[in-house]
Structure 1
Amino acid sequence: MKSSEKSIIDKIALIIIKDGQVLSTKSKGKSKYYFPGGKREIGESDEQTLIREIREELSVEIVPNSHNYIGTFKAQSDGMKDGIIVKMTCYSADFNGTLKENNEIEEIKWLNYADINTVSAVDKIIFDFLKKKGELE
């Protein structure tokens, strides 16, 4: 593995937009909100990571083959030393079940563009992207 690969945190995230707001989560002990999702495990596809992480965090089941690629975004990772970059590959997807905090998730909250200063660096880039597309109020 090249040293440059070690400085990238590979994450998959779910983007759910409703009425100009986007679903976000806050983990126990954290101050910022993050899009639901997480790190890929060795050998997992994007869809497998998305299904596992969303089940673990939000207690719902992603409908297989319903995910749609939104974009990949990179930024300095919050709370990590300079040069540690988070690469967030984002998808929308259908799901079954009722959204409910699970495992490390303390709060689920619908955010709009005015909440941009409460989210992580990479999420701010995604907020700007969604605002420019007219999907976030």
Structure 2
Amino acid sequence: MRASSHSTTDPALIKVIETANWILRDGENILSVRSHGRDRFYLPGGKIDPGETAREAIKREIKEELGVDLIPGTLRQLGTFAGQGHNLPEGSIVRMTCFTGYYCGTLAPEREIAELRWLSPRERHLMAPMGQKITAALFDI
């Protein structure tokens, strides 16, 4: 007898990746980044290291990716969103803690970032699915 296949993933196999992400708007446009070798744009930010808070991670990641310093007193947590990670194995959940905040310096792609781009609402389909969902939830109310 053959085991039936079903679309749910065994909870023991689910892997949660914790990230901190920055949401920066210019009017309706949202700052997005694309890493080398990736096909979609993402909200700037990245994985939270062991022993690091989301707030510490977002400051470090933005400096590494975009070469700017987030101004600590302006950082505000918008919320945490979770869903299947783009280009990750089934059951890989990305839990994204999102922040807004001001920065000092000049935005420029650094290290692993191939491109930064201000995406308009019409271009949001260029983002990974979680970025699309988060920005729709926050701005298309």
Normalising by structure 2, what TM-score?
0.87
How many Å separate the matches in 2 of 1:6 and 1:76?
Answer: 10
Deviation at 1:92, TM superposition (A): 0.2
Q: Which structure has the larger Rg over C-alpha atoms? A: 2
Is contact 1:113–1:131 with CA below 8 Å preserved after alignment?
no
Secondary structure of the residue aligned to 1:13 is strand
- How many angstroms apart in 1 are the aligned matches of 2:140 and 2:116? 24
Shift of 1:74: 1.1
What is the match of residue 43 of structure 1?
51
1:9 aligns to 2:24 (yes or no): no
Q: How does 1:34-113 map to 2 (within 5 A)?
A: 34-113=42-121
Amino acid corresponding to residue 37 of structure 1 in structure 2: G
Deviating more after overlay: 31-40 vs 109-118: 109-118
Q: Structure 1, residues 29-71: CA drift from partner, whole Å, max 9, x if none?
A: 1010000000001111111101100000000011123210111
How far the C-alpha of 1:11 sits from its partner, in A, is: 0.5
| Structure 2 unaligned spans of 5+ | 1-10
1:116 maps onto 2:124 in alignment: yes
Superposed displacement of residue 131, structure 1: 2.8
User: Structure 1 vs Structure 2: percent identity of aligned residues?
Assistant: 31
Q: Higher mean Cα deviation, 97-106 or 74-83?
A: 74-83
Post-superposition offset of 1:104: 0.3
- SS for the counterpart of 1:78 is coil
Shift of 1:114: 1.2
Moved over 4 A (4+): 3-6
Deviation at 1:5, TM superposition (A): 9.0
Deviations 1:107-126 (A, max 9, x none): 11001221122111211111
Change over 3 Å in CA distance of 1:5–1:103 after alignment to 2: farther
- Structure 1, unmatched stretches of 5+, are none
